Structure 1
């Protein structure tokens, strides 16, 4: 462990000097090592080094060699070296590109003709995506739990032959409001639901109009490493107590893309025909947002062949419009 402490300390100092006057997240230190370097320190995953790097940081803080910040303010206790600031995502995106997927003509999935899926590109910068990922990791000290699936009755269960990925749950109404502010002006068609039985069967049957209220504050950050996947499924809806608010669309934000740094290959979001013989892929791209209806669309998270894919998923919430 002495070797690991020395190696981590050296890397921490290197990153701090390279980034100054900007700050870093503690997880960036162990994440910067290759597999053989981690093995030399006696671990298999960078996550195993998080307790050690926290101790190193705190020791340096006690010696007044580093400052520990939260939202730009110096704090007395260790929380993190980097966090999203109050002005994070406060500026609008420069040039968002919108494309509604034509399932009949473009995707060759005619059974989904008239169903809704839309891609918004360049909603966030690559740097903003990295900040979101690091901020999510800071809420769990860099630990990603095993992803689960909804098995009904509000119960979640680990079923790795269906879903195999890491997950961080983070509730933050302020942050999701900022995320939605980047998207909402480009999606006027989602403000209300009326007479759309293939999206919201109950409200359509009852002749009700439902209006979009907000994004679900429950963000599910997902990490798909080599060999991870999410087999074909349909998304379930999210409901508040008493079903006062119900989700009808999923918002999926891609936080990285294939590059020399990520070495990501695979990991598309794939829409499948009902007989599973035809596919249409939406590829990961940093800052891309994919929004699609939760009812009737079979889709999957394709196998990650190499590297790691980071995404965030949440829901568009709706409430019955007053008469």
Structure 2
């Protein structure tokens, strides 16, 4: 399915972009997760979309929500998949302007590049020409997500998507919040729905399995939260960065998720 990026003559996403954009790198080095993710990449972009654009985008995606349930309540939410190169391109143009230059071209020998892409993706060469992964576009597959009370996504790492028949990989996820975080009730400080970064669980499958079923264990582990805010984008590396969608306790949480794609080149460096 491909959906036009406009309704009538009015674009869903204004090419001019909104005012008041604010880019904030997530500083893991000064967070409770410093020993795990000292140099890892994540950032937020406040007001990437206006509230009106969020409403239009969500409404245009439709209401054919499909239930997602995976692995003994590991993930519970609803989604709508929209395949639209036009929407993906419009969002990508808005996002890529605000990415750091060192994230747009991933090369061997650059610490951040090796953390984002991993050594195995950077080791190939052709003579004196070395691998460089250059950011290209957003994948046309957009996943609209709805979390209602009780819905959640347990700690996991996003998979790197390889586009069939092409030398392209996704290394970054972009999550755009389409509404504000749910409000707490009865004195609760939060209604849930935060995107929560967790300490690395690599090499500790036992602990990972326990955390899937033990809320008390989760509450004691170090974490860093990003609170949903309408129009805010969270961009972060997919490789080895553990995160969850915390349980929504009240109201609803709406987001749209897309992969940022890189293409491999061989360049003389």
In structure 1, stretches of 5+ residues that fail to align are 1-69, 74-84, 149-157
Instruction: Measure, in 2, the Cα distance between the counterparts of 1:160 and 1:308.
Output: 22
Contact kept, 8 Å, 1:203 with 1:209, in 2: the verdict is no
Normalized per residue, which structure has more helix? 1
Deviation readout 1:171-205 (Å, 9 max, x if unpaired): 11111111122222211332211122222122322
Contact kept, 8 Å, 2:144 with 2:254, in 1: the verdict is yes
Structure 1 partner of 2:29: 104
Instruction: Measure, in 2, the Cα distance between the counterparts of 1:118 and 1:144.
Output: 29
Distance 1:224 1:160, change over 3 A: farther
Structure 2 partner of 1:71: 7
Instruction: Measure, in 2, the Cα distance between the counterparts of 1:93 and 1:254.
Output: 15
Contact kept, 8 Å, 1:210 with 1:319, in 2: the verdict is yes
In structure 2, stretches of 5+ residues that fail to align are 1-5, 125-129, 184-189, 202-217
Deviation readout 1:117-145 (Å, 9 max, x if unpaired): 001101111111111111111xxxx1210
* Distance apart, 1:87 and its partner CA: 6.2
Instruction: Flag as ranges the 4+ runs of structure 1 deviating above 3 A.
Output: 85-88, 106-109
Alignment partner of 1:191 is 2:104: yes
* Distance apart, 1:258 and its partner CA: 3.4
* Distance apart, 1:259 and its partner CA: 6.5
* Distance apart, 1:160 and its partner CA: 5.3
Contact kept, 8 Å, 1:197 with 1:205, in 2: the verdict is no
Question: Which of the two has higher C-alpha Rg?
Answer: 1
Matching residue within 133, 147, 163 for 2:68: 147
* Distance apart, 1:109 and its partner CA: 3.3
Contact kept, 8 Å, 2:77 with 2:147, in 1: the verdict is yes
The structure showing larger relative contact order (alpha-carbon pairs under 8 Å, at least 6 residues apart) is: 2
Farther-moved stretch of structure 1 (240-249 vs 228-237): 240-249
Deviation readout 1:71-112 (Å, 9 max, x if unpaired): 328xxxxxxxxxxx4463222221211111111203443210
Instruction: Measure, in 1, the Cα distance between the counterparts of 2:150 and 2:194.
Output: 13
Farther-moved stretch of structure 1 (222-231 vs 179-188): 179-188
SS at structure 2 position matched to 1:290: strand
Structure 2 partner of 1:271: 197
Instruction: Measure, in 1, the Cα distance between the counterparts of 2:162 and 2:182.
Output: 37
The size of the alignment, in residue pairs, is: 227
- Report 1:248-287 matches (<5 A): 248-258=171-181, 265-274=191-200, 277-287=221-231
Distance 1:97 1:241, change over 3 A: same
Contact kept, 8 Å, 2:191 with 2:248, in 1: the verdict is yes
Structure 2 partner of 1:300: 244
Q: So what's the TM-score if we normalise by structure 2?
A: 0.79
SS at structure 1 position matched to 2:169: strand
Normalized per residue, which structure has more strand? 2
Cα RMSD over matched residues?
2.0
Alignment partner of 1:233 is 2:156: yes
* Distance apart, 1:235 and its partner CA: 0.2
Q: So what's the TM-score if we normalise by structure 1?
A: 0.66
